[in-house]
Structures are given as C-alpha cells and as structure tokens.
C-alpha cells in the first residue's frame, strides 16, 4: 500500500513491520537487558558508564491493568494492516509469560494483510506451548542463544536453562517452523570467544544465526562502546574460519547482512546498529506492552495509544493518529555521537 493510506514518515520510508510486546516481564536477567544478577555485577564492576543520564533504571513491572488486552492488540494490528503493515513480530520481555499467547496468535493470523507472523522468545517456556502456537498460525520463531557453554549461559542470562533452549530450538525445527532463527548478542570479554562455536552450531543444525552488536539498552546503564564487538570484526573472524557466500537481501529494509555456508546448510547474519547503522532503510514501528507506540528503538519519545483505545476513539481516528505518529519517526539514532542519551527504558520494556 502506498500513498495516503500508508504509514509513511518524513523521510519517505514506508513502514511495513510492527513489533508488538506482550509483556515487559522476563524470566531471564540478561547482561544486556536486565543485569540484576551477582554475575552481572561482577562483570560490570569497575567499568564506568560515560553516557549522559547513565543512572540505572529502577525496574518496576507494568501493572497488569495497564497491559493491552488481546482484543486491543488485535484491533491495533488490524488497523495497522489496513495502513500497509505486513509483518508482525511478538516480543517482550518474554512473550510466552503472557498466558494463552496462542489465542492472540490465532486472532492475528486471521487478519487480512498480515503475511508474516513471527515470535521472539528466550525459549525457556517454548516447548510446552510450541504445538499450540504452530496450530494457531505461527510460522516463524527466533530464539535468544548467547552461549553454548552452560556456565557462561548462566552468567549471561541468570538462568541455568541452556538445555531447555537447545531442546526448544530442536522442537521448533521438528514442528516445521521455518526459518528457525537464533539471536546472539556479543559482548566483549563475556562471550566473544564463542563466535566461531556459535557459527558452527548454526551450520551443524541448519539454522539462521544472527550476531547482534551490544546496544545501550540495559537497565543497569553499564553499556560501554568498548564492550561492542563491531560487525566488521565479527565478519573477519567468521570468514577466517568458514567458507561463506554473500546472500542477497530478502528485502531492502532487512537489518542483517547475511552469508550462507558454501554447502548451503545454515546461514549467518550480522546486525550492527552501533558500528554500521541502517536507519535509512528502517521500516519498523513498535507497540509496547502498555500501549505506547515507539518509532525508534533508541528514541526518547513514546506516543500514548492505550488511552486513545480506552477512550473509545473509532478506527478511522486511530488510523489517522497512527499516520501522524509514523510521520514523526526519527531520521536516525545517535549512538556514539556527543550527547547521546539512551532511552529511558530497557529492552525488556521497549520490546525487541
């Protein structure tokens, strides 16, 4: 959809991708999001944040009454689809902490215009719900997997759950989810020694693995650029170990630069928002669990949709409001620039 019926920003970008957070709660305490464990404290001790406003965020879960209901989420997605949104990804926090997630999946899968419905999960609760999610219409799933070493996995996530996550990845493949993607956030000094092992795992199991740069979205405000493993360094190490072939971009707004293994088994991607920003092609918009619309992952502005839904505004007025919000989408983020201020919420609250 183009023209006046689409979500278009002031840079001419047409928004097609909606990320919907189901909850800000999570059962992991990852170093790069909710670093609240003793291991996280030990890792960051002595590292001095230098970002403006680097005071740690005091975590307070969103009251359940403030979370959007499934009916409200369905309504927003239906309106967004009428404005050209084609892809919806359910995120969190950990989205499978929201009870009966398969009910929402079934509702969204029936919406005309939504061609791609996916879920991002840490995998801990996936296995008991996997078949119901598949039967409801979910076709793609991405898992967080930052380490293949059980001890290191626990240091990073605060959870002794590596076996559960690996079992969930295997089950997703058995049930026919495709592609099954794995996301690994790389932190220098914590898991960068596992880059080659993670790539080898993707090759062995025919997975799509995405290496993601560490971003300033942690509630501890401990992010330092020195802890980022740049995309160029990741690629050099991968090419030194594996015979990789560049893969064509599946769409102009893709976030990952992708490579396939020479035998066609598995795929690697690098998402480098810090060292190689891709803002010019960004077509994403986010809906937080408590009904705020965010037009940039690193933006400072949130736009209150929940109050408008609960005030009873009709669909045409909601659609017009969404178009106005989309027009205000930030031209780019400012990570690494003088005076950069991180968003006033962690990734768990924003939604991935």
Superfamily of domain 3-350: Aldolase class I (3.20.20.70)
pTM greater than 0.85 (yes/no): yes
d(CA 266, CA 199): 9
pLDDT in tens, 99-147: 999 999 999 999 999 999 999 999 999 999 999 999 999 999 999 999 9
d(CA 168, CA 235): 28
Torsion of CA 272, 190, 93, 142, to 10 degrees: 60
Tokens of 62: 């969103």
- CA distances to 33, 94, 153, 283 from 27, rounded to whole Å, are 12, 7, 14, 29
pLDDT in tens, 161-218: 999 999 999 999 999 999 999 999 999 999 999 999 999 999 999 999 999 999 887 7
Is the per-residue pLDDT at 54 higher than 70? no
Q: What residue segments make up the domains of the chain, in order of their start? A: 3-350
d(CA 315, CA 199): 46
Is the per-residue pLDDT at 233 higher than 80? yes
Higher per-residue confidence, 349 vs 309 = 309
- Tell me what percent of the chain is helix, strand and coil, each rounded to the nearest 5: 35, 15, 50
């Amino acid at each position: 959809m183009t023209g006046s019926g689409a979500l278009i920003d002031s840079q001419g970008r047409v928004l097609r991708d909606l990320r919907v957070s189901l909850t800000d709660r999570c059962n992991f305490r990852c170093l790069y999001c909710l670093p609240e464990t003793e291991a996280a404290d030990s890792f960051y001790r002595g590292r001095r944040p230098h970002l403006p406003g680097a005071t740690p965020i005091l975590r307070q879960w969103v009251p359940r009454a403030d979370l959007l209901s499934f009916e409200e989420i369905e309504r927003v997605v239906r309106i967004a689809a009428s404005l050209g949104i084609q892809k919806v990804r359910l995120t969190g926090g950990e989205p499978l902490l929201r009870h009966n997630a398969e009910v929402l999946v079934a509702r969204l899968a029936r919406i005309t215009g939504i061609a791609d419905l996916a879920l991002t999960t840490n995998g801990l609760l996936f296995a008991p719900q996997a078949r119901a999610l598949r039967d409801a219409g979910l076709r793609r799933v991405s898992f967080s997997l930052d380490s293949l070493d059980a001890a290191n996995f626990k240091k990073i996530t605060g959870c002794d759950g590596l076996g559960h996550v690996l079992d969930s990845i295997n089950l997703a493949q058995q049930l026919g989810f495709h592609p099954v993607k794995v996301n690994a956030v790389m932190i220098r000094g914590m898991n960068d020694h596992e880059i080659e092992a993670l790539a080898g795992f993707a090759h062995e199991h025919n997975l799509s693995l995405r290496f993601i740069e560490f971003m300033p979205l942690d509630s501890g405000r401990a992010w330092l650029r020195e802890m980022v493993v740049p995309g160029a360094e990741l690629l050099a190490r991968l090419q030194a170990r594996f015979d990789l072939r560049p893969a064509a971009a599946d769409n102009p707004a893709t976030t990952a630069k992708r490579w396939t293994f020479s035998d066609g088994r598995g795929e690697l991607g690098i998402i480098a928002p810090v060292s190689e920003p891709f803002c010019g092609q960004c077509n994403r918009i986010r809906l937080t669990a408590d009904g705020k619309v965010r037009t940039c992952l690193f933006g400072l502005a949130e736009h209150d949709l929940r109050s408008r839904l609960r005030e009873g505004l009709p669909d045409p007025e909601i659609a017009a409001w969404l178009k106005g919000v989309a027009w205000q989408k930030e031209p780019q983020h400012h990570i690494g620039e003088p005076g950069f201020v991180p968003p006033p919420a962690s990734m768990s609250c924003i939604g991935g």
